[in-house]
Amino acid sequence: MHHHLELIPTLTGGLAAALLLGYITHRLGLSPIVGYLLAGLAVGPNTPGFVANRELAEQLAEIGVILLMFGVGLHFHLNDLLAVRRIAVPGAIAQCLFATLLGAISGWCFHYSWGGSLIFGLAISVASTVVLTRVLADNNDMHTPVGHIAIGWLIVEDLFTVLVLVLLPTIFGEHSSGITQVLGAILLACVKVAVLVGLTVVVGDRFIPYLLSRVAATRSRELFTLTVLVVALGIAVGSSRLFGVSMALGAFLAGMVVGRSEFSLRAATDALPMRDAFAVLFFVSVGMLFDPVQLLDAPWVVAITVAIVLIGKPLAAVAIVLMLGYPVRTALAVAIALAQIGEFSFILVSVGNDLQIFNAQASNALVATAIISISLSPLLYRLVGPLEAWAIRRPRLWRWLNSRVVQPAGPSVDPAAGPVSTDLRHRAVVAGFGPVGRTVCRLLQENGISPCVMEMNLQTVRTLRQDGIPAVYGDAVHAETLRSAGVDQAGTLILSVAGITGTEEVIRQAREMNPAIRILVRSNYLREVPGLMQAGASQVFSGEGEVALSMAVAMLGDLGATPDQIDRERARVQADLFCKPTVTVEPTSPKNTDAETSATAPAS
């Protein structure tokens, strides 16, 4: 009844504590995730002071998990999974079984029921999507072979967990049954998942892009964001209610469908900023489960659980990856990236609690292990290089480790990325494809510079792609759009549209990504020029200024001024109007008396 009264304090208290402790842990060189988990402890029932409502926090956290899995699905292509199936499928299944066995044996030694021991083992075996993607992104390994293997491995683990979540109530529920009914349940679960995947991919591939294109045509950002959220939450809840699979898997499938359409980038940048806030609440809700007093009662349980997660699981993963013929560095990176537990572990715990086969000591040990392993994960990942160097210094060990490698240990190149031009001067990014953007692109191409266009009109993007010009559908204000267009690899960024909101933010982000890039900006008014230059623009072309300049040049021509005099006056007026130092004019410039050419000439 009083839930609605507690929502705002729970949300505010949880996020405020997460902000403060996340900032402190970040300054200490740890992952902010540690701060979020500690924030959960601070606002939880096991510490004095403010206590947030745990049920509400968990419900908000569930939205976080749905949006996170939707985000993972957006960037995950089926081809990525198929490309690494030879390692991800056997690797994930073997590691899950090994970790489950270790966990179940230790649970049995701690006198848990055999059902509780099994869930304890399963909870230890599954890595955290949130932490893994964060660690890979922070180390720029998301789109490398290591990243693809780790994400593929994780998806297989998630599917394995989904199967387990469907089976647990059948085996341990009130009407728990014989072997034939269990086999029937497994078959039914597989059929349900297959039907769900088929429906989502077949129907979704037709209907969702159609729906998004209709909404995108309205040019309303709110409606587009709302549509993406409804698709993500709708498919997640629908798959949970109709097919009995986890909401996380439904959200992942929804993300994959949107990711296969041309809306993937815009969906990621427009609709998912709130994902981070809800993801933080997920960690806070996990921290709230933690009871430090119980830790002192049973320190051995935590010590053994942590050892399995941080030593047993990675050793198994290294052995599997090496046996499948991959280089040592790949084995180490994948193993360490997967050495933590997270959201799926707690989903399993909550199912165990619902079935009343899990005790408080076990769930507390898992929370403690999650806090320790999540805290250490980013730090351990940085040890991959030093560990490899240590092994290289021991020739016999190095030879033995590499004995099965069938692939070259050198850096692998992603063939899908295509040939990369090393000369940045020959790569430019143009924001907007109106009359100015079109002229600029034509001039760039004529001068051997390949442009990539960022555009918010979907039809324009499709036409450009058909004409063989790289184009990105998305808003330039978002860093993700700039990165997809290749701003970090380009020599020039040209903002050809004047008056777009957030121009200064675009300039700042581009400058941060690529300090050496030349940024040419179009503005409407002269009063905007100082602010744009301060944000980091290399040159600003103002509509007012260009008109004044053209008029002055035309008038001087009528008065019979020589080309040299006109060039001198042009340089002086440009210096006055555009805050630019006076430049020495090249002898060829008398031909370029047209103001439009003067505006575009620096770009080419």
Inside any domain, residue 401 = no
pLDDT: is 342 or 381 the higher one? 381
Inside any domain, residue 477 = yes
Q: Are residues 281 and 225 in the same domain?
A: yes
Per-residue pLDDT tens over the stretch 467-490: 889 998 888 888 888 988 999 889
Q: Are residues 216 and 162 in the same domain?
A: yes
Matching residue, tokens 């290399």 = 538
Inside any domain, residue 414 = no
User: What does the pLDDT read at residue 173?
Assistant: 66
pLDDT exceeds cutoff 50 at 312: yes
Per-residue pLDDT tens over the stretch 502-552: 888 899 889 988 999 999 999 988 888 888 998 899 988 888 888 888 888
Q: 182-191, 208-217, 280-289, 425-434 — which is least confidently predicted? A: 182-191
User: What does the pLDDT read at residue 308?
Assistant: 94
pLDDT exceeds cutoff 50 at 418: no
**125 CB-near residues (< 8 Å, 6+ apart):** 95, 96, 97, 98, 99, 100, 103, 157, 313
Q: Over 292-343, what HEC string results?
A: HHHHHHCHHHHHHHHHHHHHHHHHHHHHHHHHCCCCHHHHHHHHHHCCCCCH
Q: Are residues 384 and 438 in the same domain?
A: no
Inside any domain, residue 235 = yes
User: What does the pLDDT read at residue 378?
Assistant: 83
Per-residue pLDDT tens over the stretch 194-223: 888 888 878 888 888 889 889 988 988 889
Which of these three, 390, 411, 445, is where a domain ends?
Answer: 390
Q: Are residues 336 and 439 in the same domain?
A: no
Domain that holds residue 516: 427-603
Mean pLDDT of the 149-155 span: 86
Inside any domain, residue 416 = no
Q: Structurally, how many domains does the chain consist of?
A: 2
User: Can you give the CATH number for the domain in which 546 is found?
Assistant: 3.40.50.720
User: What does the pLDDT read at residue 20?
Assistant: 96
Q: Are residues 241 and 103 in the same domain?
A: yes
**370 CB-near residues (< 8 Å, 6+ apart):** 37, 128, 286, 340, 341, 342, 345, 346
Q: Are residues 234 and 319 in the same domain?
A: yes
Distance of alpha carbon 215 from alpha carbon 227, whole angstroms: 8
Q: Are residues 318 and 376 in the same domain?
A: yes
Ranges 4-8, 125-129, 438-442, most confident? 438-442
Q: Are residues 435 and 365 in the same domain?
A: no
User: Can you give the CATH number for the domain in which 282 is found?
Assistant: 1.20.1530.20
Mean pLDDT of the 128-137 span: 81
Residue ranges of alpha helices (H) inside 28-144 are: 32-43, 54-74, 78-83, 85-109, 114-125, 129-138
Mean pLDDT of the 570-593 span: 55
pLDDT exceeds cutoff 90 at 21: yes
pLDDT: is 204 or 96 the higher one? 96
User: What does the pLDDT read at residue 484?
Assistant: 86
Q: Are residues 124 and 63 in the same domain?
A: yes
Q: Rounded to 5 degrees, what are φ and ψ at 450?
A: -90, 120
pTM above 0.85, yes or no: no
HSE-CB of 4 using CA atoms within 13 angstroms: 1
State the average pLDDT for the chain.
81
Q: Are residues 325 and 435 in the same domain?
A: no
User: What does the pLDDT read at residue 584?
Assistant: 43
Inside any domain, residue 448 = yes
Residue 259 amino acid letter: G
Mean pLDDT of the 252-259 span: 84
Q: Are residues 381 and 437 in the same domain?
A: no
